Chains A and B, each alone.
Chain A
């Protein structure tokens, strides 16, 4: 699972306070991908950057900026870091947890695939 997907996923067992899901990583890999500046610039406005930034920093990348820097289209250092976390970081094993304290549902990630299917009773 890449952090782009994480930026879009919410818990669908509960209706409120169900985003973003907390990530626990057991195994992650870096898989290199060609850096395309235009592609990543176009993607930035579509993301919840605050969520991405918090997640990235919680996962250990403490220097990742909390906000999109000014003149972002010229900030190659930032763009390459963003490319790294958004396109090249894959969480292979771990889990996603609903932030709602009365839910806290765990969704496992196995071989890079999050399992978001609810059981019969949960539906």
Chain B
């Protein structure tokens, strides 16, 4: 569909006399462009519990409210509205509910729609079934999904800590006080003078301003909450406008006592938390709630507020508006701190000037915990178990006459992907631009093989090529077929492909070869890619790099944990009836599986290729934490 029509007719959109099929053309153009997928792949005739609603608006709070009011009569649902986009995503709990909605719609020439009242003006809103789990929505897909409750040690979220009446009362009075203006936002300090930069207070100089009398009730309530800690005697008021945030930090240990609170007023937003071990969580703080920080989260977790105008809360869009936070603290008279988190404690050896990027105290602490050995992208990769070390050594010593999969691949790759397929697939939905570019640069009519196609992420990237996908995991291939019946896939072992030689104009292997545990297997996999490729055809290979964006793996052969949520796991496994070689994390409600990876050093894949004949390397680069090569067969 031509986008020019959309631009030309944008002015006429609000004209109710415009023909519905012209509106449909606009809708299709917008969706296709924004979701980077053809319309007939985004929508389906078959009823599902998910709908795309094209509302022809700008994706603001009003559009959201109008759709919400209409949709809620059909059942419990989640709505994602996308700013600056004219469509939204609705997910019902079951198909019956979405059927009720579509059955209530008007139909005109196969288009199902409802006339909804947006800001007192009626607009046709079209609904389409979709199988998509999530839409790109101009980047909404990249915003982390926050929960309304999380399990973080020491963190407590108390709802309705303040009544709406009291909130209104104090808001009026706070606004009348004197604000200090920082670079980005406005603040007020009471009790002690705040020294920015050091993020601390000067304990020898109590400010003239005491915590105002009109806040005494809430100050007393918080003091009660934190007993036996001495009374609250410091307050900071922060004003956050949409788009403002605060970078990750932990509140300095001295001169503040252990417990402090953050009370949200006027509106809510998402606060992000990251532990010293690297775990990340996102929590929605509703208005009038009180977040109490104690223990581990207070001393050793970084908290932050992303500088954004919208948040994603349990799969729904949440627009930010003005928010005030009241942070109540107790100042200690000494500069001491007796916490057990010395690695971040200024009174116990932490030096913020020299140790922000490299913290030997933290490394020591982590090593002592005896679970941590290697850090990757702030996700923890534990030390190998005895069993894993033995297995790697054993199969590396074997002289492999016929390159076939070893116990490492079977146990730590093949089996795992079949188990984690739906969960894994839900985290692998965004195609990487350079790979899509490669596929789109091929001549129309090219015959292409995606060896290790996984959930079929790239099978729809270029509708002008014929692409065949293959993978070792039958469960991942099932997900491919669910995405589209038109996808051509078959299961096979990439070490010995059941494909004729020299048939394909191009072959891609994305994040596959790093799963083979020895050099012979990795070379065999590459040999197969080349064999099925035509003369002068191209082969694109992506493998995980040892050198990641922020950190480097310490070793090349690693077992990376995958936390499979209980909802994706077998009941027997959760009940530990079946003997499990993988740990169960009761707190996070996951089973921890391990995937084997051999991460590649810079230059390693080129070295591997130098021992093989029959092609030229025409390009090599680093992309998305992968080393990439493009080969051209002779």
Does B447 count as interface, using CB distance less than 8 angstroms?
yes
Shortest Cβ gap from A61 to chain B (Å): 20
Shortest Cβ gap from B612 to chain A (Å): 21
Would A116 and B492 count as touching, CB distance under 8 A?
A: yes
Shortest Cβ gap from B521 to chain A (Å): 13
* Chain A residues, Cβ within 8 Å of B404: 123
Of the residues B489, B491, B498, contact of A11 by C-beta under 8 Å: B498
Does B60 count as interface, using CB distance less than 8 angstroms?
no
Complex formed: what's the CA distance from A38 to B443 in Å?
Answer: 12
Would A42 and B445 count as touching, CB distance under 8 A?
A: yes
* Chain A residues, Cβ within 8 Å of B490: 1, 5, 9, 113-116
Which one of B145-153, B163-171, B472-480 is at the interface? B472-480
Would A113 and B481 count as touching, CB distance under 8 A?
A: yes
Complex formed: what's the CA distance from A5 to B478 in Å?
Answer: 17
State the interface size on chain B (CB cutoff 8 A): 30
Of the residues A9, A12, A41, A42, contact of B496 by C-beta under 8 Å: A12
Complex interface bits, A31-44 against B, C-beta within 8 A gives 1, otherwise 0: 10100001101110
**Most chain A beta-carbon contacts within 10 A, residue among B445, B447, B497, B498:** B498
Would A112 and B445 count as touching, CB distance under 8 A?
A: no
Does B35 count as interface, using CB distance less than 8 angstroms?
no
Shortest Cβ gap from A31 to chain B (Å): 6
Of the residues B445, B468, B485, contact of A5 by C-beta under 8 Å: B468
Of the residues A2, A8, A111, A114, contact of B503 by C-beta under 8 Å: A8
Would A117 and B472 count as touching, CB distance under 8 A?
A: yes
Q: Which residues of B contact A (CB under 8 A)?
A: 402, 404, 443-445, 447, 464, 466, 468, 470, 472, 474, 477-478, 481, 485-486, 488-493, 496-500, 503, 505
- Sorting the interface of chain A by its residue count into under 10, 10 to 19, 20 to 34 or 35 or more gives 20 to 34
Of the residues A8, A33, A90, contact of B499 by C-beta under 8 Å: A8
Within 8 A of B (CB), among A92-118: 111-118
Shortest Cβ gap from B313 to chain A (Å): 37
Shortest Cβ gap from B184 to chain A (Å): 52
Given contacts A10-B500, A123-B404, contact A2 B445 (CB under 8 A): no
A-B contact pairs, 18 of them (CB 8 A): A1-B490, A4-B466, A5-B468, A5-B488, A8-B500, A11-B498, A12-B496, A19-B500, A39-B464, A42-B443, A43-B466, A46-B447, A112-B481, A113-B481, A113-B490, A116-B491, A116-B493, A116-B498
* Chain B residues, Cβ within 8 Å of A9: 490, 498-500
Would A115 and B496 count as touching, CB distance under 8 A?
A: no
Complex formed: what's the CA distance from A90 to B505 in Å?
Answer: 23
Given contacts A10-B500, A12-B497, contact A31 B478 (CB under 8 A): no
Would A118 and B493 count as touching, CB distance under 8 A?
A: yes
Write the chain A residue with the least CB distance to B404.
A123
Complex formed: what's the CA distance from A42 to B465 in Å?
Answer: 10
Write the chain B residue with the least CB distance to A36.
B464
* Chain B residues, Cβ within 8 Å of A123: 402, 404, 493, 496
Complex formed: what's the CA distance from A43 to B443 in Å?
Answer: 12
A-B complex: 7 closest residue pairs judged by Cβ atoms = A42-B445, A116-B492, A114-B490, A12-B498, A116-B498, A123-B404, A115-B491
Given contacts A5-B468, A123-B402, contact A113 B500 (CB under 8 A): no
Complex formed: what's the CA distance from A7 to B443 in Å?
Answer: 21
* Chain A residues, Cβ within 8 Å of B493: 116-118, 123
* Given A39-B445, A118-B493, 14 extra CB contacts under 8 A: A5-B468, A8-B503, A10-B498, A10-B499, A12-B498, A39-B464, A42-B443, A42-B445, A114-B491, A115-B491, A116-B493, A117-B472, A117-B474, A117-B491
* Chain A residues, Cβ within 8 Å of B468: 4-5, 8
